[in-house]
Each structure stands twice: as C-alpha cells, then as structure tokens.
C-alpha cells in the first residue's frame, strides 16, 4: 500500500521563527511559502511547516499512496481510527490521517510527486 515516505509536517506557533530555523539548516528556500503552509523540497521529500496544526500532537509523517480512499479503508480495516478523512488540499493532492497504536499516521496521494536523488553536499545532507 505505501509507496514510500513523502512528507513530514511540523506544527508551529511561530511560522516566521520556524522558517528562520529551517531555511539555513536545509540550505534551500521554501518552494511554497504562504501564511497557511510552508513547504521545502529536500532530497525528493517535503518538510512542511503548518501554523494551525496541533503543536501538542507533534509532527505527522505522510506516506505516499496511489489512492487515498483505498489506503484509508485498508488502514481502518486494520484497526486504525479516522482522525481526518480524505480531503483535497489543492492541486489534486489528497490527504488523510488516522490514529494508530504508535500515534498519528498520514497518507498522501500526490500525482505531482517526483523522486529526486540526494547529492552528497545537497539539501538534507
């Protein structure tokens, strides 16, 4: 079911401070920078900052899937509880989250995802 890791979303109460921390650390500017979401592409993956996500919950990891509806159904059949049902977050990207024994797990159906090689001195190294 899982195609691989895709995105980790870090909740933040201070988006400007989070960007000031991650931008030099990653060595890249965000590819998407809006007041409601900031996304960095790092070695073919996404590190995101979300100012309205639950900081107490902590980061949520999203696994790539080919079909978010099927993945959600399979997770629920395996004992997960729906936290957020499948929703389109724009540009045909669909996400959902579930509660599992180890915390929260996310799935993301993203037709735009491209696997990028990591260079020895590039972002994420």
Residue with tokens 């195609």: 3
Give the residue among 112, 5, 3, 109 at the shortest CA–CA distance from 59: 5
Tokens of 61: 């990891």
Low-confidence ranges of the chain (pLDDT < 70): 114-125
Helix, coil or strand: residue 32: strand
What does the pLDDT look like over 51-82, one tens digit per residue? 999 999 999 999 999 999 999 999 999 999 99
Report, in this order, helix, strand and coil percent for the chain, each rounded to 5. 20, 40, 40
Task: Judge contact between 84 and 102, C-beta under 8 A.
Answer: no
Q: Which residues pair with 38 in a beta bridge?
A: 33, 49
Q: What is the pLDDT of residue 82?
A: 98
H or E element, residue 103: strand 103-109
Q: What is the pLDDT of residue 44?
A: 84
Domains annotated on the chain, with CATH: 4-109 (3.10.180.10)
Q: Whole-angstrom distance between the N-terminal and C-terminal Cα of the chain? A: 28
**How far is the C-alpha of 37 from the C-alpha of 31, rounded, in Å?**
11
Which residues, 6 or more positions from 17, have their beta carbon under 8 angstroms from its beta carbon?
none
- pTM of the predicted model as reported, rounded to 2 decimal places: 0.85
Tokens of 9: 């979303």
């Amino acid at each position: 079911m899982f195609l691989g890791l895709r995105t980790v979303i870090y909740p933040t109460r201070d988006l400007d401070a989070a960007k000031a921390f991650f931008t030099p650390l990653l060595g890249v500017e965000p590819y998407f920078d809006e007041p409601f979401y900031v996304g960095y592409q790092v070695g073919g993956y996404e590190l995101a900052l979300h100012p309205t996500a639950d900081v107490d919950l902590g980061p949520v990891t999203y696994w790539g899937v080919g079909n978010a509806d099927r993945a959600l159904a399979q997770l629920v059949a395996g004992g997960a509880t729906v936290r957020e049902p499948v929703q389109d977050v724009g540009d045909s990207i669909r996400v959902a989250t579930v509660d599992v024994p180890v915390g929260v797990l996310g799935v993301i159906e993203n037709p735009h995802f491209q696997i990028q090689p990591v260079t020895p001195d590039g972002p994420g190294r």
